[in-house]
Amino acid sequence: MTKIAVVYYSSTGNIAAMANAIGEGAQSVGAEVRVRQVAETAPAEAIASNQKWQDHFDAMRNEPIATLEDLEWADGIALGSPTRFGGPASQLKAFLDTTGGLWFKGALVNTVGTAFTTASTAHGGLESTTLAINNHFYHWGSLIMPLGYGDAHVSKVTGNPYGASHFSRKGARPDEDALKACFIQGRQLAQVSSWVAAGKSGN
Ligand SMILES: Cc1cc2nc3c(=O)[nH]c(=O)nc-3n(C[C@H](O)[C@H](O)[C@H](O)COP(=O)(O)O)c2cc1C
């Protein structure tokens, strides 16, 4: 069974919803899936200053936190973060910066990697965040899988081949179109990861 880890950070729930849709897409083609948030690192006062952030933090308090073992376990890895000043959130980066040991032993070489994000505006950094997340995959030796334009939903509706994305202007939650792009990305990640895994084992 192909193993897919969806690892993300979300303050107010948009990326969390997208991560779940990616997981559902991977499951739809039979993959074993772990959807994992990374640990929150912001101080309690910062979280409390935004009711949506506090509510999401409280709702997720008992959900599992991503570990290095989740990455080592996976054939395919989807990384997601809200856009923060044009790049990924420090919470995701803090987790990724603990992967030096895995990098050193080549544990993530030939995993398949893909990225997704959300920003407040369409031109507020969706692509720059996706590309910045992808930098980690280059260093790990992963094979980067873009969302691409292979599915008509992406080419005709959502239009971002770098990775699934959503812009949340005025508090909009990821809509059906954005979640469908996530589902497609998760399904594609599982399919491509299964081909790579089969190639590695000579099947
Ligand atoms: C500190 C901070 C920086 C942000 N930077 C950007 C940005 O550069 N561009 C943008 O369009 N939105 C930016 N946003 C908005 C978030 O990316 C957006 O609200 C996102 O949908 C939140 O996702 P989440 O619900 O998963 O936390 C920023 C938000 C915060 C709190």
- CB 46 less than 6 A from any atom of ligand 1: no
pLDDT less than 70: residues of the chain: 203
Q: With a 6 A CB cut-off, is 49 part of the ligand 1 pocket?
A: no
Determine the residue of 20, 56, 85, 133 to mutate for testing ligand 1's pocket, defined as the one with the most ligand atoms within 8 A of the Cβ atom.
85
Per-residue b or e along 151-162, where b marks 16 or more CB atoms closer than 10 Å to that residue's CB: beebeeebebeb
Comparing CA positions, the residue from 151, 148, 152, 174 lying closest to residue 162 is 148
- Is 37 touching ligand 1 by the criterion CB < 6 Å? no
Instruction: Please report the pLDDT score of residue 56 as a whole number.
Output: 98
Report pLDDT for 28.
98
Nearest to 2 by CA among 42, 30, 40, 35: 30
Q: What is the pLDDT of residue 200?
A: 87
Just give the CATH number of 3-200: 3.40.50.360
Q: Is 119 in the pocket of ligand 1 (CB under 6 A)?
A: yes
Q: What is the pLDDT of residues 76-121, one digit of tens each?
A: 999 999 999 999 999 999 999 999 999 999 999 999 999 999 999 9
Which whole-number Å values give the CA distances from 112 to 120, 136, 138, 184, in the listed order?
28, 12, 11, 15
User: Is 51 close to ligand 1, i.e. is its CB under 6 Å away?
Assistant: no
> Which sequence spans correspond to the domains of the chain?
3-200
Find out whether the beta carbon of 84 lies less than 6 Å from any atom of ligand 1. yes
Ligand 1 midpoint to CA 151 (Å):
27
- Between CA 17 and CA 15 the distance in angstroms is 5
Length of the chain: 203
